[in-house]
A and B are shown apart, each in its own frame.
Chain A
Amino acid sequence: MIRVVVKRLLIGVLVMWGAASLIFVIVRVAPGDPVSILLGPDAGQDQIDQLTASLGLDRPMFAQYLSYLGHAVRFDFGDSYLFGRPAMAEVLERLPATAELMLASTLIAVVVGLALGLLAGGRPGTAVDRVVSASTIALQSFPTFWVGIMLILIFALALRLLPSAGSGTPAHLVLPAVTLALPFTAIVARLTRTSVADTMREPYIQTARSKGLTERQVLLGHALRNSLIPVVTIVGLHMGGLMGGAVIVENVFAWPGLGSLVVDSVSNRDYQVVQAATFLIAGIVMLFNLVADLVYSQLDPRIRLEGTS
């Protein structure tokens, strides 16, 4: 197992290099540049030349790339053009808020999604199944932005139960976490439903039933564990998607996270922050995938990670 983890981590280094290189190229190929944003439309050519030189953007692209990689291995992404502070420090300052939001929404999605999936998959073709299936399709179809606004209108404006925006108390977390969780919940529910429905047709389930176990015992004791395998995979893979959703949710709920920082930095062509954030996010997604693989192998003894058997 350790050998596999080490091997995955080594591959991870290559992935990180790829991500770091790709984002370096993408931000520079994109039209527009930080100098015109920083100086605005009133700058003279001498000001533009001076700032371009002081930011090191006048150097050949390959020289910039080598210098960037050299610093990146030490987690030094330079100072943000806009904030004048180390870019990674800026990113790390915003990370906890996003992590809190993603953790809460993942928890909601997994618990509620599993429950709904079990409910529907345990009784395929029944009214419950049809209601759950239709609801999850609807949940997946609603745009996150719209859902956020609707929840604000209902729970903040009409019922005055929850704050509409901001952060700082558990109450502030509820609406953004639910908004972010809803489409993910639908995915988990649908996947669990299909998986459970398939499992319930397996011969060993028939055996369990013939032993006199109740339907609930069969479902929770025998079908659930096998049904969890695809769910664990999707949770690991969905971290990138959640980060994308967090960008919208953070804007709607004025949540001080990484998503809004990345969007602002891309708009402002703050290369350093975009590069630092991408590097960190790529690392987090990679780690989640690794953890998902490890959990996956633990859930199903038939599956062994390459190199462990």
Chain B
Amino acid sequence: MTRSLALPATRRTALAMLAAATMALTACSAATSGGTDSSNGEVVVAGTYPIDSIDPDGPQGGGTGPQMAEQQIFSRLVRTKPDGSLEGDLATSWKPDSTATQWTLTLRQGVKFSDGKTLTSADVVDSFKRFIDLKGTNAANFPGYTMTATSDNEVVLKASKPDAAVPRKLAVFFVLPAGVAPNDTAFFEHPVGTGPFKLEKFSPNEIALVPNPNYYGGAPKVKRVTIRKMPELASRLTALRTGEVDVAWGIPDDQLSQVESDSNLTVKTIQSSAVFTMWFNSSTPALRNAQVRRALWEAVDFPTIIKQLYPQTGSLSDSVVSPQTLGYVAQQPVKYDPAAAKAALTAAGFDFNTKLRLQFANAEFRQFNQAVVSDLEKIGVHVDLLEKEQAVFTKDLLALNWDINFQQLSNPMLDAANTIGRLYPCAAKRNGYCNPQLDKLLSEAGASSDEQERVKLYGEATQIIWQDAVGMFPMAVKYAYAWNKRLAGFSPDPNGLPDFSHLQVRS
């Protein structure tokens, strides 16, 4: 019997498959290492939030994801710096009249759009009209406001009532070329702007930006910035550690130590504009009494909860707004004292059989709210914890269909007018609380063009909100950013909206 040297067909097939698999893995491996070619000046950013549109005036324009992309492509008149101060973008100066109802803004000269055309006041006025007409989320800050051009490089914004916060409010208004129609999808496929970048590619999961050579501040020095949608935290952090992405943020405490131990990464935690805010519904019979609300606040051991859950990204808040916000004035923290809380509730005639409803909307806050409920339960206060879907949460929030409402309130304008001035007047009807004295202070603060006076007035308003326990304001939030050490010029932003124009890739 002779044995053939040729392999049986099945074995040949198996070997062929093995070889193919090996080649595929090799190809895959090559593909991985070539994922981020930083030597070519390319930067990949892990985007937490979807960017489904880059129309700043559209329904989604005010969202965190779209706004991050919009600010790279379009400029604003004024923008906030990470430290909370203002700087001119397309405007070089902004001055109010004596009543702060009319603001004159002088435009930067010689600014060109990415298609080479020169920016004029007509572009700014037309953009403002589009912004107001489309009634996007940020347009609500300018009810009845109008803008006119007084010359080629000057515009006047007229407010319907005295408004000292106009410059900071303008930080969410983006300038487009004149004549962009309401649903101009063709324009936003190939947008023209005065920002540092031009749009190269827009797909459902990825946005690619390339430098705008006409940018008035000088074209960015990177070759391309790609913002990749990565909603899962684990995916973002893995991609950061494998080098597939260069920048990620919103890193929670339980992951920070691992990221910090990676020698290829720079990690920085910065104070954000966000504050954990837990309003009491003052129109609920059980919560009408300020002493009851205050006692409930005293019953929760926030320092321990924060230390346990947010050791690096949280700190005990001492105000309604974050420290870098204009109008921030520190208050005396509420001391944890469950015995005193229970005594105060009993003295105030609180019915311990009442079941309060605490609503919140995002799973990432579940543990925090569970801890709050647990502490309240310890003194005999029963709370139903209601985790709601965002759409339901918003509807119930507006309908005051809750007793305690948890939100992480951010303030991209870094001005107390946007939170204290907007959410706490009686007319806002946001938490069932109404105090004419507070209304008067907020009205004066909103109308004064003297910054020091505004801070003083907002400080007095904050004291009322704090003392009357309109809500509990337990935690000032910090954002943890991590980026590859190959990058230079990256500066974290307190609103999660970093500017990529100064990025450079080290060789």
Chain A 157-191, CB-CB to B under 8 Å as 1, else 0, gives 10011111111011110100000000000000000
Inside 8 A of B35's CB, which chain A residues have their CB? 163, 166
Closest to B243 in A: A160
B27 touching A171 by the CB < 8 A rule?
yes
Closest to A265 in B: B52
Inside 8 A of A85's CB, which chain B residues have their CB? 185
- Of residues 234 to 249 in B, which have CB atoms within 8 Å of A's CB atoms? 234-235, 238-239, 241-242, 244
B206 touching A174 by the CB < 8 A rule?
no
Q: Count residues on chain B whose CB falls below 8 Å from chain A CBs.
A: 49
Inside 8 A of B307's CB, which chain A residues have their CB? none
> In this assembly, does B229 line the interface, its C-beta being within 8 Å of a C-beta of chain A?
yes
- Kindly provide the distance from the CB of A309 to the nearest chain B CB, expressed in whole angstroms: 39
> In this assembly, does B81 line the interface, its C-beta being within 8 Å of a C-beta of chain A?
no
In the docked arrangement, what's the CA distance between A85 and B31, Å? 34
- Kindly provide the distance from the CB of A168 to the nearest chain B CB, expressed in whole angstroms: 9
Inside 8 A of A269's CB, which chain B residues have their CB? 391
In the docked arrangement, what's the CA distance between A82 and B135, Å? 14
A254 touching B232 by the CB < 8 A rule?
yes
> In this assembly, does A256 line the interface, its C-beta being within 8 Å of a C-beta of chain B?
yes
> In this assembly, does A123 line the interface, its C-beta being within 8 Å of a C-beta of chain B?
no
A170 touching B32 by the CB < 8 A rule?
no
Inside 8 A of A41's CB, which chain B residues have their CB? 394, 397-398, 430
Chain B 6-45, CB-CB to A under 8 Å as 1, else 0, gives 0000000000000000001101110111010000000000
B244 touching A164 by the CB < 8 A rule?
yes
Chain A 32-71, CB-CB to B under 8 Å as 1, else 0, gives 1110111111111001001100000000000000000000
Inside 8 A of A81's CB, which chain B residues have their CB? 59
List the count of A-B residue pairs having beta carbons below 8 Å apart: 148
| Given A84-B185, A152-B234, A260-B231: A33 touches B204 (CB 8 Å cut-off) | no
> In this assembly, does A264 line the interface, its C-beta being within 8 Å of a C-beta of chain B?
yes
| Given A93-B204, A260-B231: A40 touches B239 (CB 8 Å cut-off) | no
- Kindly provide the distance from the CB of B438 to the nearest chain A CB, expressed in whole angstroms: 19
In the docked arrangement, what's the CA distance between A256 and B230, Å? 10
Inside 8 A of B31's CB, which chain A residues have their CB? 163, 169-172
In the docked arrangement, what's the CA distance between A165 and B389, Å? 27
> In this assembly, does A119 line the interface, its C-beta being within 8 Å of a C-beta of chain B?
no
Chain B 132-155, CB-CB to A under 8 Å as 1, else 0, gives 000101001001000000000000
A38 touching B59 by the CB < 8 A rule?
yes
B62 touching A167 by the CB < 8 A rule?
no
- Kindly provide the distance from the CB of A113 to the nearest chain B CB, expressed in whole angstroms: 16
B204 touching A261 by the CB < 8 A rule?
yes
A161 touching B32 by the CB < 8 A rule?
yes
> In this assembly, does B58 line the interface, its C-beta being within 8 Å of a C-beta of chain A?
yes
B137 touching A164 by the CB < 8 A rule?
no
Inside 8 A of B3's CB, which chain A residues have their CB? none
Which of B24, B32, B241, B398 has most A Cβ within 10 Å? Answer: B32
| Given A32-B391, A165-B244, A256-B203: A174 touches B28 (CB 8 Å cut-off) | yes
> In this assembly, does A251 line the interface, its C-beta being within 8 Å of a C-beta of chain B?
yes
| Given A31-B392, A42-B140, A47-B140: A252 touches B234 (CB 8 Å cut-off) | yes
In the docked arrangement, what's the CA distance between A230 and B31, Å? 39
Provide 21 A-B residue pairs closer than 8 Å at the C-beta atoms, listed in order of the A residue: A31-B389, A31-B391, A39-B135, A84-B183, A85-B185, A161-B25, A161-B32, A162-B29, A162-B32, A163-B31, A163-B32, A163-B35, A164-B239, A165-B238, A165-B244, A166-B205, A170-B27, A171-B32, A252-B234, A252-B235, A254-B230
Given A31-B392, A82-B60, A166-B244, 12 other A-B residues pairs in contact with their CB atoms under 8 A = A32-B391, A34-B391, A41-B430, A83-B53, A85-B185, A152-B235, A160-B29, A163-B28, A252-B232, A254-B231, A256-B203, A269-B391
B residues whose Cβ falls under 8 Å from a Cβ of A: 24-25, 27-29, 31-33, 35, 50, 52-53, 55, 58-60, 62, 135, 137, 140, 143, 183, 185, 203-206, 228-232, 234-235, 238-239, 241-242, 244, 389-392, 394-395, 397-398, 422, 430
A residues whose Cβ falls under 8 Å from a Cβ of B: 31-34, 36-44, 47, 50-51, 81-85, 93-94, 149, 152-153, 156-157, 160-167, 169-172, 174, 251-256, 260-261, 264, 267-269
